[in-house]
Amino acid sequence: MLFLAKTLYSAMPGSRKMILKHVMSGICSKMNRTKQLPSDIMETPLNRCLNTFDITLLGVGHMVGAGIYVLTGTVAKDLAGPGIILSFLLAGLACLLSALCYAEFGTRVPKAGSAYVYTYISIGEFWAFVIGWNILLEHMIGAASVARAWSGYVDSLFGGVISNTTISLTGELHEQLLGRYPDFLAFTVCIVYALLLGIGVKGSTMVNSLLTIINLGVMGLVVTVGLYYADEQNWTSLKGGFLPYGVGGVIAGAATCFYAFVGFDSIATSGEEAKNPSFSIPMATVLSMGIVTLGYILVSAALTLLVPYYDINPNAALPEAFSHVGMHWVKYVVSLGAICGMTTTLFGSLFSLPRCMYAMAVDGLLFSFLGNINTKTQLPLTNLVISGLCSAVIALLFDLEKLVEFMSIGTLLAYTIVSACVIILRYRPTFEPIAKPASTPASEVSASTSELTTPGSEIVCLVGTLRVQYSWLGPIFGNCEPGSVVTVCVFVFTTFSAALCILFQVSSNDLENGIWWTIILAIFFIFIMISALVVIVAHHQNSAGLRFKVPMVPFIPALSILCNIEFMVHLNILTWLRFFVWMILGMLVYFLYGIHHSKEGEGNSSYSILMTSSEAVKEKWGSTTKTMFKGAFTRRKSSNGDRSAIIDEEESTE
């Protein structure tokens, strides 16, 4: 008995220590676990009914909103002048880099959730939750801000009657973050369009397509009439020239114009409702980006050719410009286009938000009731109701001019991580779009045989390893697992890109004045970034089986990462503080709920992992004591007391 007591005394602390150590170390593995795709990747409870035309107009409608009627005047007058054409071109190209990365992922993974799902598959659960949590905020604030703009535009058409009446009835709100008055019209608009989306995805996209076509028609009319009355003298040196604010003004204008293209991720969100996502998603992405970029450039050209840039009215740029040449009736056409554009932008945000909530809930990272699909409409109706109400309340109360910039952090962060994911997956040999069946000894033998006999098997095996011409890097990276070096290099490139952008933002004057330490630091950062890209290029890619792939990997995704980070460092410090507050709330949700209910962690509890699968099924917690007694008698002379608490079934039967 004394021996048994000593054995229990020495064994129990060790077993507890082992379990505690496993639980603590398991947190890191849980945060890094990746999503496993089902055997049938096309299977979904949602309705696959959207064609390429529907998805293209969904993306165009989400991007071409009130910005084309308001943003063009502000940027042309205050930032770039007629050079706004180059600003929109640069912003469109910068956004196209991220759009191409989204298109490749849409081909790989035709699922709802957009950047959230892409990150979950390639990087891991924690970063996927971070992206998904910010996407929810992006679409929620996006919908509310557009509803508020819609309300303000209609109010201006009626001479401010709506706002004046509301203030007379309710009074003004004097809090800092709140709006001047409660906007009941914006609240109603959010609710109405949420109800419209509830009729079904096909019916609601038909309405969206109709409104988008009307908006494009208005843009075409504005361009045609504007170019007919154009005065090319407005681009000459007599009236300021084509670049009155210089190249710096063009770049500053591009940073502002970039947010006019935000919204193409709604295309990726529709991947689970597309008939042929491997074709429709990349095609719709490229077409919508081309249409929107061309539209912005032509409207900007027509505006700056009608009137000199310094005479533009930023609050009503197009109506005032046409009034300048005696075309007063265009004001009503522009108003129709603006209302249709804002409606489709609101539609895009309310379309994407419930589907992102659904994707996260299905994976167990958000509450399970958010993953329910209505069998009749094949829509996440609960999510749609919550999305509409939350957006409506925000639109009712808050001053959204202070929150719109806050929205852009989540967008740019998602773009950055998706671009990084494209590089990682392109060099990862283990990525499979379709899950493998359970392996048997016979299947393993046949698989190994087929690998030896298949002509392309050598290429597949080389993915993520060094190319022959870069064998001189072998002593450094030759013993690393395939793909791991590329992942580290992507992290290094992203980190030093952020450092370089921060240096340019903080020490721009020192760089211009030739201060030696800033120049050396910038050269060092650039050298590390180039070295990381060289190491990535030195490895074999895996692009087999993709219907669409980003060209010039890793350079295009790397350039996308750099551009997105550059835009992020220009954001206000208060915006970053609000972002961290939102992330603290997200971390509470993840660590108190999501990490414990993740579908990828089912069947792998902290205790059962310490046992074999058969032992975890057959025995309860108390049975461990019996096993420990048995181990004490059978291995009395063994000095490994800690191991006696946990015994494999096979070992005990021997």
Q: What distances in angstroms separate CA 416 from CA 101, 119, 202, 652, one per listed residue?
A: 10, 11, 31, 52
CB atoms under 10 Å from CB of 290, counted, come to 14
Taking the alpha carbons at both ends of the chain, their separation in whole angstroms is 26
Give pLDDT, residue 104: 85
Give pLDDT, residue 84: 92
Closest CA to 535 of 494, 491, 481, 477: 477
Q: What distances in angstroms separate CA 72 from CA 18, 51, 161, 320, one per listed residue?
A: 63, 32, 27, 13
Q: Which parts of the chain register pLDDT below 50?
A: 1-12, 431-460, 604-654
Give pLDDT, residue 22: 55
CA-to-CA distance for 546 and 571, rounded, in angstroms? 36
CB 339 within 8 A of CB 154: yes
Give pLDDT, residue 561: 94
- Mind giving me the DSSP string for 44-105? -SS---B-HHHHHHHHHHHHSSTHHHHHHHHHIIIIIGGGHHHHHHHHHHHHHHHHHHHHHH
Give pLDDT, residue 158: 80
Give pLDDT, residue 461: 59
CA-to-CA distance for 304 and 82, rounded, in angstroms? 6
Read off the pLDDT of residues 504-561 as tens digits, 9 standing for 90 and up.
888 888 888 888 899 999 999 999 999 999 999 999 987 666 778 888 989 999 999 9
User: Residue 175: which residues within 8 A CB-CB, separation 6 or more?
Assistant: none
Give pLDDT, residue 20: 53
